[in-house]
Amino acid sequence: MKSKFYFYFGIVIFAFGIFSFTNIGYAQNEEENYSSVITITGIGLELTKQSLLTDNYDSAEKYSTLTNNFYGKNIQFLRSYDSAFSDETHLELLDLHSSILSKSNSKDLIDQINKLQEAFSQIPLDGNSRIIVSSILSEADEQYQTAIQHENSESYFLTLSLIEHSKIILKQNPTSNDRQNEEMNSFFNDLDKSISNKDDFVVVGTLITAIQRDLIQAKTVTNDKTNTYDEIRNLYSKLFTAVKSGDYSTAEELGIEAYLDNFEYLESDIEKVDEKLLYSLELNMRENIRNMIVQKEDPDSIIAFVETSILPDLAKAESLTSKLSPTTDPTVPQKDLKPIGDASEDQKSGVKNKIDIIRERLEDTLQYYNHGDLQSAHTSARSAYLDSYEFVEIPLRAIDPDFTLEVEYQFATLRNLIKEEAPQKEIQDIIIDIRRNLDESERIVTGTGEIAPAIAFTSSFAVIFREGLESVLILGAVLTYLEASRNTKFKPYVYYGIIIAVVATIVTWLVASYIVDISGASRELVEAIAALSATAVLFYVSFWILNKIEHKKWMEFVKAKVWQAGATGGFMVFVMLSFFTVYREGFETVLFYQAMFGFAKYMELFVGLGFIIGIVSLVGVFFIMRKLGRKLPLRVLFGLTMGIGAYLSVAFLGNAIRELQILDIIPYTSMLGIIPRLDINMASMTGIYPTLETLIGQLILLGVYMFAASYVLISKPRKEQKLVAMRKSRKTQNE
């Protein structure tokens, strides 16, 4: 055991000599990630070498396995940063592991490690040291979990090395905030004691979370801070019960929870109103009360200390902070918020990458929780926030701070529900809410761009033009027939039917919008059903148009409609004919636009503009037919609208499947790196998402369209031509 301690101490000294970090701000997230990966890999290599120096091949093999697994987990990111070096290093790490397994000469193996270490020492490691430390601590947290769950001594000593190296980095790069430095030192002392005692994983994880929160200077603010003050009082009440019964261990956990999981979220507000009060509360809640519990002082003394030194100050803090307002507090300078999409290209790219990682972490969280692995679920949930969403918040908070706080609270709720071992349904529901807001986060940071609004405009125009074209052609033919047959007395009734149909369409839109608005938590399900319905209707309409794409067939259809109305002769026939002609298209239009507005968020203006120009174009078509009497290129018009309809149905299907995946109704199988990763607005307008399920659904539908189009446009005409030729041939033979 003592020899291993020296190994551990040696790696710290080694790592300290190799790696240095500079504090250059949050913007270069890739640099921090790269630095942390290289640092952790270097620590793993040194532990491997120390084992080989004592010919402990078994331990060296385990350290090498840990190092290779960690490096392999990050290889895709490393390749994007430096492909050649990353792949070469990966191969050398694998070769080293293979040589250790075959128990090659230890001197040769150490030479291999020295070569890798020399290569690492040549890499300029830049970035914000606090973010780097946060990433290193996340890996320490995972390694500690492995150490406790599987009694893995190598993971345990790797944890110690990672934490010690983190302290060295922070010592080199202290903050100017003495209070925060003191708080972090206290947390690290508690962390060292907890790991030395091999305390429960949750306790260690909570301490690491607190340190990371201070490092990144992110305070998760709950929606109702009054509840947080009440929760602290409730925890102290439970603490009183615990110490009275002699359960000092539970009392200590309750004290830690009162401070780390609750008071930490109140610090920023208290600091604004009374820094001395904050310092006093921190000292009493973080150290003094805990020391009394650890030393198992008399229960009455502990209770008296809380009642006289902590609770009164807590009440004072609550009273002072209750007067604060995010918009009126004169002590806080108000900054102008940036418009949606006002972020650098690097930030936009970083946000997309981080959100992809978060989605994977949330899937892991749900799987772990479903299998009863609460510790892994908690690790994954915390990693989703601290290792990824924290970086999304940087550009997001400058645009929409209220929304940022809402998502922070959701992540905090998820972690707390896991700790409380809440029902699986509650975990699933909060993850669904987070998934929904991940898309919104990306929309806010990346903006709409230029191509997605153009697609929204074109799709909107195509929908209304396609839907209105049939009505215009039928109604134009009806009016022409009435004029030609000198039955102009029926023309007003045609217009009456149109007006009634337009009013009915507006009512249908209002009812549909109301249903969506009141759907609440089921909104995604309603939108998914609307999208699937729109897909089905577009599918039917596209083939209906396909069968009438020939001008002759269309005119036969129109003449049949006109003849049917004229043969009956009653005025109500013309009212009903025009009503159903327009309302049928109007109902379909409502369905399509409800689906479109659900996916074209922040592009509603372009959708509306497409609708208006589509209506104007239809009026123009009607004018050309009625006044100029020109023959329309129906084959071209129908061909274009059918193509747009097919495209929209494929897009709607992709979005519907995605919504069902968010709701966990359909499985989620990631295909990142295989299917293009479009930004959220382009994805919503095309329905293209990097998942296996959306790909399969869209390919099947696209295949059906291609098969049907080839049949109707190529195979069927050829068969008809052959039949005509055969008839002519028989007729010639008979003659």
Are 422 and 446 contacting, i.e. CB atoms less than 8 angstroms apart? no
pLDDT at position 563 is 59
**pLDDT of 724 above 80:** no
Average pLDDT over the chain, rounded to whole?
78
pLDDT score recorded for residue 228:
84
Looking at residue 562, its pLDDT comes to 58
pLDDT at 11 over 60: no
Q: How far apart are CA 254 and CA 262, in angstroms?
A: 11
User: Do 260 and 286 contact (CB within 8 A), yes or no?
Assistant: no
The CA–CA distances, whole Å, from 37 to 137, 211, 483, 531 equal 12, 19, 81, 43
Helices then strands, each counted (H, E), the chain: 31, 0
Reported as a pLDDT band with limits 50, 70 and 90, residue 626 is low
Q: What percent of the chain has pLDDT over 90?
A: 12
> What is the mean predicted confidence (pLDDT) over 83-100?
83
pTM of the model: 0.54
The set of residues, in sequence order, having a beta carbon less than 8 Å from that of 262 and lying 6+ positions away, is: 228, 231, 232, 235
Q: What is the mean pLDDT of residues 402-408?
A: 77
337-348 per-position pLDDT tens digit: 788 888 888 888
Among the listed ranges 20-24, 478-482, 571-575, which one has the minimum average pLDDT value?
Answer: 20-24
**Identity of residue 532:** L
pLDDT digits (tens, 9 = 90+) for 494-549: 788 888 888 988 898 888 777 766 655 566 677 778 778 877 777 776 665 555 54
Task: Specify the residue for token string 């030729």.
Answer: 725
Whether the per-residue pLDDT at 472 is higher than 90: the answer is: no
Give me the mean pLDDT over the 650-675 stretch. 85
Q: How far apart are CA 365 and CA 384, in angstroms?
A: 9
**Span 76-103, mean pLDDT?**
82
- In sequence order, the 6+-apart residues with CB closer than 8 A to the CB of 302 are 239, 240, 243, 251, 289, 292, 293
User: What does the domain layout of the chain look like in residue ranges?
Assistant: 221-321, 345-445, 451-725
Percentage of residues of the chain with pLDDT beyond 70: 80
Q: How confident is the model at residue 473 (pLDDT cuts 50, 70, 90)?
A: confident
Confidence check: pLDDT of 593 > 60: yes
Instruction: List the one residue out of 259, 261, 274 whose CA is nearest residue 183.
Output: 259
Whether the Cβ atoms of residue 165 and residue 16 lie closer than 8 Å to each other: yes
> For residues 716 and 590, which has the higher predicted lDDT (pLDDT)?
590
The whole-number average pLDDT for the span 564-573 is 60
Is pLDDT above 70 for 587? yes
Q: Residue 565 pLDDT more than 90?
A: no
Note the pLDDT of residue 296. 92
- pLDDT, position 641: 63
**pLDDT at 99 exceeding the cut of 60:** yes
Specify the pLDDT at position 542: 63
> Is a pLDDT exceeding 70 seen at residue 481?
no
Which value, to the nearest 10 degrees, does the dihedral of the CA atoms of residues 388, 138, 427, 368 take?
Answer: 120
Q: What is the mean pLDDT of residues 413-439?
A: 86
Which position has the higher pLDDT, 550 or 499? 499
Residues in the chain: 735
The pair of three-digit structure tokens given for residue 639, joined into one six-digit string: 């061909």
Looking at domain 345-445, its CATH class is mainly alpha
Give the pLDDT of residue 571.
64
For residue 463, which amino acid is it? Answer: V
Say what the pLDDT of residue 390 is: 67
pLDDT, tens digit, 9 for 90 and up, residues 203-223: 788 788 778 877 776 444 444
Q: Are 477 and 559 in contact (CB under 8 A)?
A: yes
Q: Which of 245-259, 467-481, 502-516, 619-633 has the highest mean pLDDT?
A: 245-259
Model confidence at 2, pLDDT cuts 50, 70, 90, reads: very low
Q: Which of 54-63, 114-123, 319-328, 663-672 has the highest mean pLDDT?
A: 54-63
- Tell me the three-class secondary structure of 665-700, residue by residue: CCCCCECECCECCCCHHHHHHHCCCCEHHHHHHHHH
DSSP element (H, E) containing 565: helix 551-568
pLDDT at 49: 92
| Model confidence at 282: pLDDT above 80 | yes
- Cβ atoms within 10 Å, residue 595: 27
| Residue 456 pLDDT level (bands cut at 50, 70, 90) | confident
| Banded pLDDT at 91 (limits 50, 70, 90) | confident
* Burial of residue 275 (number of CB atoms within 10 Å: 0-12, 13-18, 19+): exposed
Distance CA 531, CA 527 (A): 6
